[in-house]
Structure 1
Amino acid sequence: MMSDEESVIKSIPVVDMGQLGVGVAGDPGKDEWERVAEELRDALTEVGFVYLTNHGIPRKQIEKMFSNSMKFFRLGDEVKKKYASLLEGNQDGYIAIKPEKHDATSKGPDLRESFYVKPMGGMFPDEEIPELRRVASAFHASCKTLTARLLTAMALALNLERDFFTSTHKELFIDGDNMSVLRLNHYPAIPPSTPCNSIRCSPHTDYGTITLLFQDDLGGLQVRKGGGSWVDVDPIPDTIVVNVGDLLQVWTAGKLVATEHRVIIPEEEIQRRTPRQSIVFFIHPDTNTIITPLDGSTSHKPITAHEYLISRLNNTYH
């Protein structure tokens, strides 16, 4: 009989980062780069989502990020509002449950609150949680290293120069030149009075190049596969979920696919009463990067990464 983990893996591919993991010393070598590149290409072409194993980001570092994130969300509403995001292209700070809505057909807001971290010198609850800035800075550095290796492997997978993507993502987390952002998510416990058509995060695709997702053990994330069915992306210990964003789909002329996904409310009562957490690193190209299909087609007009992201943010929050 197939285990739950084996069942998940059959739906969402798994790529072992091997010698490309964070903290691995030495040059991985051509064969290792080509292996990871090929496996990423197959996964992101067919599904648009992949689990990464042996990614190299220390478990303790991830656990500290989750624990400090929860400390913030346990603060009182008035305290959290002191750190409210300005929204207008400034993803820095707290967003309460009501403002964000991805799906125009949804009958209510997404049941999620978030804290955006960009840049490291930006808005932090230093008075209430002095450790958060330091922990987030270390976590960001690890994510940035992993991102560079993923972008290099993806360039090789597409037969591009190995620095094609890293050269257009030079300003990650440098204020003003790149809109990549770390987002801490908190999905509160579901009250009994919650309408039956509510959802924790309505169906959407991500906006940028790729997304790194760190889940807790509650689950709820689903992706829409071909034919319209929803497939669970259940948590697998010590993995990171990576998915393609809209800009990368445009950039690769649809070769790599940005797959619609959502976070549902669990049916089990014990899980409904348990808050869910996730940490997401949204990777975007540098703001002035011109995005145009790599195959030379005219299926999409050229647009800067900044212009595209601002248009999507305006649609999300207004």
Structure 2
Amino acid sequence: MIPLIDARPLLGPSGAARDATDAAILAAATDSGFMTLTHLPPPVPLDRLLRIFQLPQEVARGLWRQKFAPGNANVYRGWFPLQNGHPTYKEGFDAGPDIAYGPARIVSGDPLTEATPRPPAELLPDWQDEMARYYKAMEQVGTALLRAIARGLGLPEATFTPAFANGISTLRLLHYPIRPPQSFEGVHADAIWTEHAGRRVDLVGKPHVDSGFITLLCQHGIGGLQAIDADGNWRDVPPQPDSLVVNFGKLLERWTGGRIKATTHRVIGSGTAAAGRARHSVPFFFEPAPDAVIAPIPGLGTGFQPFLYGDLVWEAMMKFVEFEGLDHLRKRG
């Protein structure tokens, strides 16, 4: 079972309640690598952010990544459209820190710090401001989690957080439609079908481990997310009201000498099909600055050569999301 943890003490003052929450977070992070933080109402209703998927197709194309629309300037941020013939079937929109902080966070010459393309304000009134509020709220939760993990590990509270100043965190809006038959063409059956609860279901998000540090996921009422447990069984991560699903990536696992667990997870289509409507979710990938140096932490047994976050994340992205429109970018910058 995925632990449910009341997040209110996490964001409150020091004391017994926060200490107990720290202990619960560390237990989940070092065991399953998954948890659900409850009592966290979204800073804006998710429907307000997800309006972007109602844009006319010709407008959405103006936000597509360069891979899919060669005339567009954006190569890393923006929209990746639905594609047939892949194990994963979804479309999404990626926003970077400039969506919250403006042009000061855009650095020319590096795709990781490029501008986020915006939909026309007249078609989505207040969308920009709502995205900014959501982005900043997720940064607050991510920072609180890093501090809680440091305290739980017996480290100084600010051990991890300096690397995340001027970070390049990604706010992603996702849409998983019910898969049409043509979307399966050209994909091996083992990659798109699985058994769950005694019946055959389709995969809309293939099994994977996040490459980074912390992922904060807000589900939008439709199930399908699953995490694998220590015995190799898939466990449902059901939607909860006013909550965020938290999982950890391979880089945080490495940074903590394996203490924090990066857990394999996937999305199946059973919940979507049963409900007869599309699934949406909003993950926030909490990331450091590109020039942040990730170095071993004394006392955690982390033996690796220091590296720049931006260099490593680019390499990881090339391996993981080629179908999302980044496979033509084999060299950062």
Amino acid at match of 1:283: F
Q: Which position in structure 2 is the counterpart of 1:104? A: none
Preserved CA contact (<8 Å) 1:98 1:109: no
Aligned identity (percent) is 30
How far does the alpha carbon of each residue in 1:131-159 deviate from its partner, in whole angstroms, 9 at most, with x for none?
21011111112212222211111110111
Tell me the SS of whatever aligns to 2:25: helix
How many angstroms does 1:292 deviate by?
Answer: 3.7
CA distance in 2, matches of 1:291, 1:268: 39
Q: Which position in structure 1 is the counterpart of 2:261? A: 257
Q: Which position in structure 2 is the counterpart of 1:110? A: 88
Preserved CA contact (<8 Å) 2:83 2:183: no
Q: Which position in structure 2 is the counterpart of 1:191? A: 180
Preserved CA contact (<8 Å) 1:184 1:280: yes
Q: Which position in structure 2 is the counterpart of 1:30? A: 15
Which of 274, 277, 287 lines up with 2:277 in the alignment? 274
Which of 279, 303, 306 lines up with 1:302 in the alignment? 306
How many angstroms does 1:277 deviate by?
Answer: 0.5
Mark the CA change 1:155 to 1:268 in structure 2 (over 3 Å): closer, same or farther.
Answer: closer
TM-score (norm 1): 0.81
CA distance in 2, matches of 1:224, 1:306: 29
Which of 59, 68, 76 lines up with 1:79 in the alignment? 59
Tell me the SS of whatever aligns to 2:172: strand
Mark the CA change 1:126 to 1:193 in structure 2 (over 3 Å): closer, same or farther.
Answer: closer
How far does the alpha carbon of each residue in 1:2-30 deviate from its partner, in whole angstroms, 9 at most, with x for none?
xxxxxxxxx11122123333xx6xxx123
The reply to whether residue 52 of structure 1 matches residue 37 of structure 2 is: yes
The reply to whether residue 19 of structure 1 matches residue 29 of structure 2 is: no
How many angstroms does 1:90 deviate by?
Answer: 5.2
Amino acid at match of 1:248: L
Which of 222, 240, 246 lines up with 1:218 in the alignment? 222
Which of 164, 185, 189 lines up with 1:169 in the alignment? 164
CA distance in 2, matches of 1:146, 1:67: 21
Preserved CA contact (<8 Å) 1:208 1:247: yes
Amino acid at match of 1:241: V
Amino acid at match of 1:124: R
CA distance in 1, matches of 2:251, 2:272: 36
CA distance in 1, matches of 2:282, 2:75: 19
Preserved CA contact (<8 Å) 1:51 1:239: yes
What 5-or-longer segments of structure 2 have no aligned partner?
A: 68-72, 103-115, 193-201, 328-333
CA distance in 1, matches of 2:30, 2:209: 15
CA distance in 2, matches of 1:68, 1:253: 40
Preserved CA contact (<8 Å) 2:5 2:21: yes
Q: Which is further off, 298-307 or 224-233?
A: 298-307
Preserved CA contact (<8 Å) 1:50 1:241: yes
What 5-or-longer segments of structure 1 have no aligned partner?
A: 1-10, 100-106, 172-177
Tell me the SS of whatever aligns to 1:200: strand
The reply to whether residue 125 of structure 1 matches residue 113 of structure 2 is: no
Amino acid at match of 1:18: R
CA distance in 2, matches of 1:299, 1:135: 42
Mark the CA change 1:298 to 1:212 in structure 2 (over 3 Å): closer, same or farther.
Answer: closer
How many angstroms does 1:126 deviate by?
Answer: 2.7
Mark the CA change 1:192 to 1:293 in structure 2 (over 3 Å): closer, same or farther.
Answer: same
CA distance in 2, matches of 1:108, 1:85: 18
TM-score (norm 2): 0.78
The reply to whether residue 152 of structure 1 matches residue 147 of structure 2 is: yes
How many angstroms does 1:191 deviate by?
Answer: 2.9
Q: Which is further off, 67-76 or 192-201?
A: 192-201
How many angstroms does 1:86 deviate by?
Answer: 4.2
Tell me the SS of whatever aligns to 2:131: helix
Mark the CA change 1:192 to 1:90 in structure 2 (over 3 Å): closer, same or farther.
Answer: closer
Amino acid at match of 1:13: P
How many angstroms does 1:297 deviate by?
Answer: 4.2
Preserved CA contact (<8 Å) 1:19 1:32: yes
Q: Which is further off, 253-262 or 280-289?
A: 280-289
Q: How many residues align?
A: 284
Mark the CA change 1:267 to 1:168 in structure 2 (over 3 Å): closer, same or farther.
Answer: closer
Preserved CA contact (<8 Å) 2:215 2:285: yes
Mapping for residues 284-299 of structure 1, pairs under 5 Å: 284-294=287-297, 295=299, 297=301, 299=303
Q: Which position in structure 2 is the counterpart of 1:136? A: 131
